[in-house]
Amino acid sequence: IVTVPTVSADILDGNIGYLRITQFTQSTAQQTRKELLIFLEEGVKGIVLDLRDNPGGIVDTTLSVADMFLSDETIVHIRGKHADHDQTLRSSKETLVPTEMPLVTLVNKGSASASEILAGALQDNNRSPLIGSQTFGKGLIQIVSPFGDGYYTLTTSQYKTPSGAEIHTVGIPVDIEVDDIYIDEDEMEAYQEFTNSGVVEEFVAQHPGFSFENVQLFLDTVVGEDPPFDEEVYKILVRREYLNEIPYEERPIADVEFDPVLKRAIIFINEGS
């Protein structure tokens, strides 16, 4: 059986644990537990849980991960079409991560379904603030069954956060809004033209070795004044090309300097707000 990694982790400068979950599969809880135990052994002072662009997955796995952070708290309400089908799922009293350990959770519009269950549980139980942007809003339980030559989808129930808030079509609002860096639709043509031009690769070949000085030199000599899209995008493009020159296993898991959402999370852990 091949296990696809869905969890990556690192200890950032300042002794802060960074844990990214890309999807909830059967092995995700085990992978998460392993990394959290390393954090605890190393004595990290706080943890950043990154659920950005996590489309969801197996709900039971999500419940297991929530149980690592929450002690005897409601994780999610399941509301059926009939009241006798309603359920409230709670965490156990035992928890892997001490409840006093600072925790910050990162989400965005790509965080959906099972990842929203986890984010909502951590937020509503005051275990973790959410930083980033509002989540996608997918909170239905559906059964797909064959019908004739095709299939039909039957909605049986929906998820609600511990406070009873809707998830579906609404999403979960964040406590601290920090936008990811995106390309607007009207900038896309200029972006594609620039990335296909080869100038980034040429610059990195002529100036090997990543440094902030090289990034600034790239902005000054290649990008110039009044660029067609956000300067931060150019920084990310040249940084990404430098990373491509590094063997995959040696690349950093997280890149604080070029990730404004992660940067804000670290400030929160260090300063408490």
Which among 136, 169, 139 has a CA at the least distance from the CA of 157? 139
CA distance 95 to 232: 39
**Which of 53, 115, 138, 160 is the catalytic position?**
138
Residue 224 — left, alpha, or beta (φ > 0 → left; ψ -120 to 50 → alpha)? left
Active site residue 113: yes
**Which of 124, 128, 133, 259 is the catalytic position?**
124
Counting beta carbons within 10 angstroms of the beta carbon of residue 211, is it exposed (0 to 12), middle (13 to 18) or buried (19 or more)?
exposed
**Which of 91, 113, 128, 133 is the catalytic position?**
113
Residue 93, helix vs strand vs coil: coil
Alpha helices in the chain (DSSP H): 28-42, 59-69, 114-124, 188-196, 199-206, 212-218, 231-244, 260-271
Active site residue 115: no
Q: What phi and psi, each to the nearest 5 degrees, are found at residue 61?
A: -65, -40
Active site residue 138: yes
Which among 178, 139, 169, 163 has a CA at the least distance from the CA of 52? 178
Tokens of 2: 């091949």
Active site residues: 113, 124, 138
